[in-house]
């Protein structure tokens, strides 16, 4: 796909999409041309993010935990919004359903605690080898195939989340966060305490926080699409605009108007047309 001309903040980006991906996986290829430095705020969404840079640059990340420069990263569910500076970067970004990420990353997502870590810390020496193979590949389809194979191998070796946890997550997503968490426990046959504990360990958030994240994600994309805060608040189950404003600031650190204009969201309809990764 040629570089997009959607707006100035993404005019130097080339975005590529695979023809198909496995369930619970979505990915996109990004090339940010030299001479077009990008500074953006990474906005949380209902998926685990994996990024692998295969050129000769590093991600320059600044967040609550300080600064990190790395060629690969994994960001847990509902990570704290962080700033990324990139120029001349070539990378593949993967969005994983937390049900898939639990198996692929090789650890319960509660251990990520919504943070950002170098992928090398999770996959060890396999990460630089993967970066090298991506670098040697000549086309985006070849790179996507390499990632698909890597993820498939790790998925087969990983442990699945509890069926009750998977069911609760899917209900939250299907209802765009509009669920009574007490009803989830009743439907699973578990106690509220057990669901809280198992869901938090395996997904990385409590059920209530997961519902807030899914509702926020739907709301912020509607804002980015041009809907008014009043309409988004009314349709999204928020008590009022102040409630919406509070949640947007809690997840992004900024206002609804500023969040709606973030480049991270502006590129979504090209890179993630179905805003996938949450199923």
Sorted by where each begins, the domain ranges of the chain are 8-160, 163-260
Q: What pLDDT is attached to residue 9?
A: 52
**What CATH topology corresponds to 163-260?**
Arc Repressor Mutant, subunit A (1.10.10)
Burial class from Cβ neighbours inside 10 Å (0-12, 13-18, 19+) for residue 209 reads middle
> In the prediction, which pLDDT does 276 show?
43
d(CA 85, CA 16): 20
Could you confirm whether domain 8-160 is CATH 2.60.120.10? yes
Closest CA to 278 of 105, 143, 98, 116: 98
The pLDDT assigned to 3 comes to: 30
pLDDT in tens, the chain (279 residues): 333 333 345 566 889 999 988 999 999 999 887 776 778 888 888 999 999 999 888 888 887 667 888 899 999 887 888 888 877 789 999 999 999 999 999 888 988 877 888 999 999 999 999 999 999 999 999 999 999 999 999 999 999 999 999 999 999 999 999 998 889 999 999 999 999 999 999 999 999 999 999 999 999 999 999 999 999 999 999 999 999 999 999 998 889 988 888 888 878 878 887 654 444
Query: Measured between alpha carbons, how far is 266 from 135 in angstroms, rounded to an integer?
Result: 27
pLDDT at 11 (0 to 100): 61
pLDDT at site 192: 92
Predicted TM-score (pTM) of the model is 0.89
Residue 195 to residues 60, 82, 166, 183, 205, Cα–Cα distance (Å): 37, 30, 11, 11, 11
The 3-state secondary structure of the chain reads CCCCCCCHHHCCEEEECCCCCCCCEEEEEEEECCCCCEEEEECCCCCEEEEEECCCCCEEEEECCEEEEECEEEECCCCCCEEEEECCCEEEEEEECHHHHHHHCCCCHHHCCCCEEECHHHHCCHHHHHHHHHHHCCCHHHHHHHHHHHHHHHHHHCCCCCHHHHHHHHHHHHCCCCCCHHHHHHHHCCCHHHHHHHHHHHHCCCHHHHHHHHHHHHHHHHHHCCCCHHHHHHHCCCCCHHHHHHHHHHHHCCCHHHHHCCHHHHCHHHHCCCCCCCC
Determine the pLDDT at residue 278: 45
């Amino acid at each position: 796909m040629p570089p997009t001309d959607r707006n100035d903040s993404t005019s130097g980006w080339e975005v590529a999409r695979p023809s198909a991906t496995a369930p619970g996986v979505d990915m996109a290829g990004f090339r940010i041309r030299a001479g077009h430095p990008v500074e953006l705020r990474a906005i949380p969404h209902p998926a685990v993010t994996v990024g692998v840079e295969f050129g000769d640059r590093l991600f320059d990340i600044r967040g609550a935990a300080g600064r990190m420069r790395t060629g690969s990263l994994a960001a847990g569910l509902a990570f704290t919004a962080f700033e990324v500076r990139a120029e001349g970067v070539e990378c593949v970004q993967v969005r994983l359903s937390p049900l898939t990420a639990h198996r692929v990353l090789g650890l319960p997502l509660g251990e990520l605690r919504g943070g950002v870590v170098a992928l090398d810390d999770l996959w060890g020496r396999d990460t630089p080898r993967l970066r090298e193979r991506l670098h040697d590949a000549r086309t985006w389809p070849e790179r996507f195939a390499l990632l698909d194979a890597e993820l498939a191998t790790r998925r087969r070796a990983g442990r699945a989340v509890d069926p009750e946890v998977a069911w609760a997550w899917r209900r939250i997503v299907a209802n765009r966060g509009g669920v009574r968490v007490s009803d989830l426990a009743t439907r699973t046959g578990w106690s509220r305490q057990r669901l809280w504990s198992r869901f938090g360990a395996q997904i990385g958030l409590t059920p209530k926080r997961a519902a807030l994240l899914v509702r926020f994600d739907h709301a912020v994309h509607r804002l980015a699409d041009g809907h008014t805060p009043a309409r988004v608040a009314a349709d999204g189950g928020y008590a009022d605009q102040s409630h919406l404003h509070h949640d947007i600031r809690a997840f992004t650190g900024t206002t609804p108007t500023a969040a709606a204009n973030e480049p991270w969201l502006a590129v979504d309809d090209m890179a993630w047309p179905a805003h996938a990764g949450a199923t």
